[in-house]
Amino acid sequence: MEKDVIIFSEGRTSIERNVLSDIRGLRKVHIPSSVQTIDTSAFSGIKTLEEITVDENNANYVSVDGILYSKDMKKLINVPPAKELVSFVIPESVEEIESYAFEDCVSLEHCIIEHDNAESINNGILDQFTPAQLLEFIDYAAEKGSVNCSSMLQEYKHNKYPEYDAFYEFVID
């Protein structure tokens, strides 16, 4: 099936895992006020997705610039993979990043964490970035003095990509 916009019906309370995976060419998704839960992999594999919008009366979710967050902005849920972002600053309010939040975001070159919430960033999210993208995380975190965050990222990349020389040369004072 091919569609470029999906508007879920009002009254729908959840968006399940892979519910949209068979739709080719999907560019936009609208979430109604009635949705209470969204599976972390609901948008997984939709490489053409550019924007997610949320009804302003939804009590659980919000969209800012087409990016999906929990209503309180403490959880980053999904950055649409076809959204043309070269750089993305994770808002300071974000305390948790969902596992598939950045899946297939190929245009993203820099992702910046403005605060030191390393405990909330799970390795699933890190698997979605290239070594070069994560090196930017490390550099920025170290520059801002977020030692816990930069150390955690450096250790992760060292374990995942031991052959990546740049990680052996990077030192945190």
CA dist 49 and 45 (Å) reads: 9
- 33 found inside a domain: yes
Are 61 and 117 members of one domain? no
Q: What is the pLDDT of residue 170?
A: 38
Are 79 and 151 members of one domain? no
Q: What is the pLDDT of residue 90?
A: 81
**What contacts 162, CB < 8 A, 6 or more positions away?**
none
Handedness of CA 58, 65, 102, 69 (dihedral sign): negative
Are 76 and 4 members of one domain? yes
Q: What is the pLDDT of residue 130?
A: 66
CA dist 106 and 104 (Å) reads: 5
Are 115 and 157 members of one domain? yes
Kindly give the confidence (pLDDT) of every residue in the chain, 173 residues in length, as a single tens digit, with 9 standing for 90 and above.
Answer: 557 888 899 999 999 987 887 778 899 999 999 999 999 888 888 889 999 999 999 999 999 999 999 999 989 999 998 998 887 888 878 878 887 888 888 777 767 665 555 445 555 566 666 666 666 666 666 665 554 555 556 666 666 666 554 433 433 33
Backbone angles phi, psi at 133, to 5 degrees: -65, -40
| Cα–Cα nearest to 113, from 138, 132, 83 | 138
CA dist 14 and 34 (Å) reads: 8
Q: What is the pLDDT of residue 41?
A: 84
CA dist 46 and 5 (Å) reads: 12
**Domain boundary at 67, 83, 99, which?**
83
- 138 found inside a domain: yes
Query: Rounded to an integer, what is the distance from CA 30 to the centroid of its chain?
Result: 18
| Cα–Cα nearest to 133, from 162, 163, 159, 113 | 113
- 91 found inside a domain: no
Give me the domain span that covers residue 132: 109-173
What is the DSSP-derived secondary structure letter of residue 118? G
Domain count, the chain: 2
Give the H or E element holding residue 29.
strand 28-31
Between CA 158 and CA 161, with CA 160 as vertex, the angle to 5 degrees is: 65
